[in-house]
Amino acid sequence: MKDISRICWGIVFPLALLLQACATQSPAPIEAPGQKQGSPVAVAAMQSIPAVKQVLPSQPVVRNGRYTVQSGDTLYAIAWRLGVDHRKIIEWNTLRNPDRIMVGQSLIVAPPSTEPATAALPARVVPAQPMRPTEASSPEPASSASVADSRGPWVWPADGKARRSVSATGSSGLQIRGERGQPVRAAAAGEVVYGGSGLRGYGQLLILKHDELYLSAYAHNDKLLVKEGQRVERGQGIALMGDSGASEVMLHFEIRKGGKAVDPTGYLPAR
């Protein structure tokens, strides 16, 4: 019996030590077949996982003509993403101060049933000549005379080759290619009504209000130089060009009239 006890103890004791050692080891890292921990391929795979950022969807969720204000929203950003005239949202909701909307607030963002469907007519787009087949230093100006108004002449928001492009919300604008850190300028005098990276597909974005009718947007900046509520002059540096939310360094530029995108080449001077 003593011999049998010794044999059993000789088997059980080493097995118990082995189980304890296994329990104290860290779980093995998950690797792709044929990859070793710390290998360049494995490290590159881990580094390629994008960081998750909380951004507002490019198209807000609207139910029964209403939108619930989210953190980071401004009235002008909501109007921009919906393609609605910000003046109409102010009117429909009888807002005394459009700069003060609250998270959780329900806003009417579509014409009430009592308002004629023709109340919000699409903005007239100034006709423009087609772009050259090969990329030029700038788009051709509109065939008609550049729009003249109380703001005076518009200026190009950045130097570089330009072409027509479509934004994340489906609005047409201009894509101006350049170098990282290149100055981005205000195309006309106005007030900064949005500055941030909350709108998906626009990266670091600035929206300027020029008067009650016109807004302009400057997207994919590397750095913003102005803040919401700040007044800017025509030609003033407002940002530095980058590739935030874009595949290359560029500026996406839009002009909106009454909430609707218009062709910027009808407003910008020839160059």
Distance of CA 264 to the CA centre of its chain: 19
DSSP letter for each residue of 162-214? EEEEE-TTS-EEEEEE--TT-EEE-SSSEEEEEEES-BTTT-EEEEEE-SSSE
Residue-wise pLDDT for 157-195, tens only, equals 999 999 988 766 667 899 999 999 999 999 999 999 999
State the pTM of this model: 0.62
Domains along the chain?
A: 66-113 (3.10.350.10), 162-266 (2.70.70.10)
Integer CA distances (angstroms), 246 to 177, 186, 219, in order: 11, 21, 9
Residue-wise pLDDT for 200-224, tens only, equals 888 999 999 999 899 999 999 999 9
DSSP letter for each residue of 126-156? PPBPPPPSS--SSPPPBSSPPP--TT-----
Contact 156, 268 (CB under 8 A): yes
Decide: residue 68, CB within 10 A, 0-12 exposed, 13-18 middle, 19+ buried. middle
